[in-house]
């Protein structure tokens, strides 16, 4: 049986990691925004065709999927979030289905088919995919940031399930890539189907208002194994997932979230589409039982920010540390698979947003239990007194053909999918959460140096010991945590 003391420490650590994650997102925001500004463009032409019903066309096919707009959503270094929608573009289809878009070369782009005449989730009509020469791997993320051409005609786009398949294959040379690099990108960009949740929840509740919900997947490793050594990525154990919700709605104050200072608590709820599995069998969440702030309390952190925790179930966290309130649902509790269907987010009993995380692109692990994505492996380098001097990083990916994890030899493969990653350090034994997150570019940096003083294991002052160390990266609106907890 797990000791109560260890359980409390783990819960506190997971809450602290939520803080680290929110802070890391803010750091990534600043980095990506620095790329914005005047940039060369790629002019793209195409035509929506078979299987689609262009709403402005006088000849309508009732059995075809209705569509009226092509949205272009920018992706900055693999990050897919509210910034992408703030810089998105839209082209209304001409009566024959033709469209044209001018795409800046400071980002990569997703092309999304929309039906703005519909309401709710029915507005989404699919994502345009591009042939690569490999029938098993079509491309979703158009790598415009490395485009060597200024014009691109993708030809006709025909309906094929949740994607619109362009009929003209992509030429790798047009994007300064080898055919192998293009196929590698296509093999790893399926999670960008998550753009559906982004476009459906931008401006739906009110003009300019967005709601984003990011699944964060948590993997655990052996703390002893990272001491001046790189562990085997096969030793990672999947633990759980939780969700981070962000919005610019400004509809609540932090006091309303926890019900303090005489302010009534306003329910903040996330409803799953079906009963979900948890690490605590006594906690049940289903379409009638949401994850919520029903017992939330406020406290003031060492840096003056207000933190909201849920002392009964430990399943809710919120903070106003970075301005707008960020929420974490199901902290340390939810186990895969994520059920298919619509998740509903409600505030004060009123529906604000809906999200769909069904399908294999949202599976954190493969059928064999391996990391479904990229696996950062870290080595913690220490001085003679145990002080952490740096953390080295290597990147791996599981290869089902060879049945093993393989180190990624060409880190440029990551540049379209992971623009920023982070190394974090955390201590909660001293009574106050002490933490640090150092962001880095995984393509150009293989080592990170902490700004503050940290010690590995039990060396050094208790308040400066790294109780947990780990790596994190966001990609396609999903988060991946790899944590190493001191026993």
Distance, CA of 55 to CA of 52 (rounded, Å): 9
Confidence category of residue 62, pLDDT binned at 50, 70, 90: low
pLDDT score for 407? 97
Q: Are 17 and 424 in contact (CB under 8 A)?
A: yes
pLDDT score for 232? 97
Report the SS3 class of residue 86: helix
Query: For the chain, what is the mean pLDDT?
Result: 89
Distance, CA of 48 to CA of 160 (rounded, Å): 12
Write the pLDDT tens digit of every residue in 360-417.
Answer: 889 999 989 999 999 999 999 999 999 999 999 999 999 999 999 999 988 888 999 9
Write the pLDDT tens digit of every residue in 213-234.
Answer: 999 999 999 999 999 999 999 9
Q: Are 212 and 82 in contact (CB under 8 A)?
A: yes
Distance, CA of 314 to CA of 297 (rounded, Å): 11
- Quickly list H helices, 402-459: none
pTM of the model: 0.89
Distance, CA of 149 to CA of 143 (rounded, Å): 11
The strand ranges marked E within 49-172 are 52-54, 65-67, 69-75, 89-92, 98-104, 108-114, 124-129, 151-160, 163-166
Confidence category of residue 6, pLDDT binned at 50, 70, 90: very low
Distance, CA of 4 to CA of 10 (rounded, Å): 10
Quote the percentage of the chain above a pLDDT of 70: 90
Among 51-65, 124-138, 336-350, 450-464, the range scoring the smallest mean pLDDT is 51-65
The dihedral through the CA atoms of 65, 70, 75, 81 has a sign that is negative
The strand ranges marked E within 7-97 are 41-48, 52-54, 65-67, 69-75, 89-92
Report, as an integer, the average pLDDT of 30-43.
62
The dihedral through the CA atoms of 277, 278, 284, 288 has a sign that is negative
- The count of other CB atoms within 10 Å of the CB of residue 174 is 16
Q: Are 446 and 184 in contact (CB under 8 A)?
A: no
Confidence category of residue 113, pLDDT binned at 50, 70, 90: very high
Q: Check whether 1 has a pLDDT greater than 50.
A: no
Among 14-18, 108-112, 246-250, 264-268, the range scoring the smallest mean pLDDT is 14-18
Count of alpha carbons within 13 angstroms of residue 64, beta-carbon side: 19
Write the pLDDT tens digit of every residue in 155-193.
Answer: 999 999 889 999 999 999 999 999 999 999 999 999 999
Kindly report whether the peptide bond that precedes residue 337 is cis, defined as omega within 30 degrees of 0: yes
- Quickly list H helices, 189-326: 195-200, 254-258
pLDDT score for 260? 86
Print burial letters for 406-419: b (CB count within 10 Å at least 16), e (below 16): eebeebebbbbbbb
Report, as an integer, the average pLDDT of 25-30.
44
Print burial letters for 254-274: b (CB count within 10 Å at least 16), e (below 16): bbbbbbbeeeebbbbbbbbbe
CA distances from 235 to 230, 404, 407, 484 (A): 11, 12, 15, 12
Distance, CA of 335 to CA of 355 (rounded, Å): 18
Which residues does residue 141 pair with via DSSP β-bridges, in sequence order?
A: none
Among 82-96, 112-126, 310-324, 419-433, the range scoring the smallest mean pLDDT is 419-433
pLDDT score for 38? 66
Give the Cα-Cα-Cα angle 91, 155, 176 (nearest 5 degrees). 90
Q: Check whether 138 has a pLDDT greater than 50.
A: yes
Distance, CA of 237 to CA of 125 (rounded, Å): 37
pLDDT score for 302? 72
Six-digit token string for 259 = 């019900």
> What is the pairing mode between strands 434-440 and 421-427?
antiparallel
Report, as an integer, the average pLDDT of 21-26.
50
Cα 209 from chain centroid (whole Å): 19
């Amino acid at each position: 049986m797990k000791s109560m003391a260890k359980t409390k420490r783990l819960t506190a650590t997971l809450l602290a990691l939520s803080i680290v994650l929110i802070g890391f997102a803010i750091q990534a925001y600043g980095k990506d925004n620095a790329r914005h500004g005047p940039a060369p463009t790629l002019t793209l032409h195409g035509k929506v065709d078979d299987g689609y019903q262009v709403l402005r066309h006088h000849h309508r096919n009732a059995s075809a999927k209705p569509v009226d707009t092509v949205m272009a959503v920018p992706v900055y270094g693999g990050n897919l979030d509210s910034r992408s929608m703030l810089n998105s573009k839209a082209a209304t289809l001409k009566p024959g289905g033709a469209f044209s878009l001018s795409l800046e070369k400071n980002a990569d782009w997703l092309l999304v088919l929309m039906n703005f005449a519909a309401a709710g989730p029915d507005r989404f009509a699919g994502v345009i995919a591009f042939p690569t020469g490999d029938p098993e791997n079509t491309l979703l993320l158009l790598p415009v940031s490395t485009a060597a051409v200024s014009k691109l005609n993708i030809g006709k786009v025909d309906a094929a399930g949740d994607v619109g398949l362009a009929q003209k294959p992509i030429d790798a040379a047009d994007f300064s890539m080898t055919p192998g690099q293009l196929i590698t990108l296509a093999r790893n960009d399926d999670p960008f189907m998550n753009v559906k949740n982004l476009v459906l929840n931008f401006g739906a509740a009110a003009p300019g208002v967005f709601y984003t919900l990011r699944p964060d997947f948590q993997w655990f490793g052996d703390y002893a194994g990272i001491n001046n050594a790189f562990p085997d990525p096969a030793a990672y154990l999947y633990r759980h997932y939780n969700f981070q919700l962000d919005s610019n709605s400004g509809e609540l104050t932090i006091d309303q979230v926890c019900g303090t200072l005489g302010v009534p608590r306003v329910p903040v709820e996330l409803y799953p589409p079906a009963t979900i599995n948890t690490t605590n069998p006594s906690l049940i969440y289903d379409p009638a039982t949401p994850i919520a702030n029903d017992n939330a309390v406020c406290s003031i952190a060492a840096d003056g920010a207000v933190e909201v925790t849920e002392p009964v179930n430990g399943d809710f966290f919120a903070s106003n540390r970075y301005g707008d309130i960020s929420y974490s649902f199901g902290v340390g509790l939810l186990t895969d698979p994520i059920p298919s269907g619509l998740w509903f987010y409600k505030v004060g009993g009123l529906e604000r947003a809906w999200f769909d995380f069904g399908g294999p692109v949202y599976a954190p692990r493969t059928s064999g239990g391996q990391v479904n994505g990229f696996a950062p492996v870290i080595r913690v380098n220490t001085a003679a007194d145990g002080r952490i001097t740096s953390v080295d990083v290597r990147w791996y990916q599981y290869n089902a053909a060879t049945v093993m994890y393989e180190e990624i030899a060409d880190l440029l493969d990551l540049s379209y999918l992971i623009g920023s990653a982070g190394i974090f350090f955390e201590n909660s034994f001293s009574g106050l959460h002490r933490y640090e997150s150092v962001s880095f570019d995984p393509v150009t940096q293989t080592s990170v140096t902490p700004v503050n003083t940290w010690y590995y294991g039990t060396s050094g002052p208790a308040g400066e010991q790294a109780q947990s160390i780990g790596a994190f990266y966001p990609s396609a609106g999903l988060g991946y945590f790899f944590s190493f907890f001191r026993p």
